[in-house]
Structure 1
């Protein structure tokens, strides 16, 4: 049998939709994907390392439990501190007004305790009536 020839005056399929694109000369798409993957893995590793260093640098965690507005000049704050047994820390408790302005502050020394978690209740003096009290931070006390 003879092969069929396209009729004259028609274009072949290769030219029907325009010229074929040439691949980019900057390298393969696979190399770029590998480079992006390596960069992402390095970024995740850096974040993990930073988090681990921060945890070791400040092993104290705190948790607000509640507060009670005693009167226009006092507010009671309850909180828990989580730190390794035998550790001492200083926690700062702020009393805040309705506009979140600080109307009182108190530094409280906590620990050392025999357990990882210990609870505290303190009274913060205020310059005007507070609507809340919260722990803003705890730092380890070096002996």
Structure 2
């Protein structure tokens, strides 16, 4: 019976054996310093994002949400929306009624606040030049006290 011999693997192909017989590279391809640098960069990115969000909130303290709309007929649409702003703040919200082509067929500037809570709901009727099929809150801007 003949024995089959396998060629030996090059010595540097798989690294050198460490004291316990394992690979000389224990922490994977990145060293401890590189992992610490990545962790520091991720922490800085999260902190930067939080700081940016805080500044944005300070610059634009009024937010809005569209709740619903109801087409009342060919010349009006009823819109319900919420406004989120600090207690005591006043703002003006612009509501737009839209045709199927997304053309604006009605608009209304609605003064809101000052509210007693951070979130308040409003319901308005917008007159239209033709039947609207949707409505949006185009934006809300704070007004001077």
CA distance in 2, matches of 1:19, 1:108: 78
Q: How high is the TM-score relative to the length of structure 1?
A: 0.73
Q: Which residue of 1 aligns with 2:30?
A: 29
Structure showing greater radius of gyration is 1
Question: How much does 1:48 deviate?
Answer: 0.8
- CA deviations 1:88-139 (Å, max 9, x no partner) are 0111111122233332222211111233333222222223211111213212
For the aligned residue pairs, the C-alpha RMSD in angstroms reads 2.5
1:17 aligns with 2:9: yes
Question: How much does 1:71 deviate?
Answer: 2.0
Q: Which residue of 2 aligns with 1:56?
A: 58
CA distance in 1, matches of 2:38, 2:104: 46
User: Cα gap change, 1:29/1:113 in structure 2, threshold over 3 Å: closer, same or farther?
Assistant: closer
Secondary structure of 2:49's partner? helix
Question: Number of paired residues?
Answer: 127
CA distance in 2, matches of 1:71, 1:17: 83
For structure 1, the residue ranges without an aligned partner over 5 or more in a row are 1-9
Q: Which runs of 4+ in 1 moved over 6 A?
A: none
Q: Which residue of 2 aligns with 1:110?
A: 112
Q: How high is the TM-score relative to the length of structure 2?
A: 0.72
For structure 2, the residue ranges without an aligned partner over 5 or more in a row are 16-23
- CA deviations 1:30-83 (Å, max 9, x no partner) are 232222222221111111111111122222232223212122222111122222
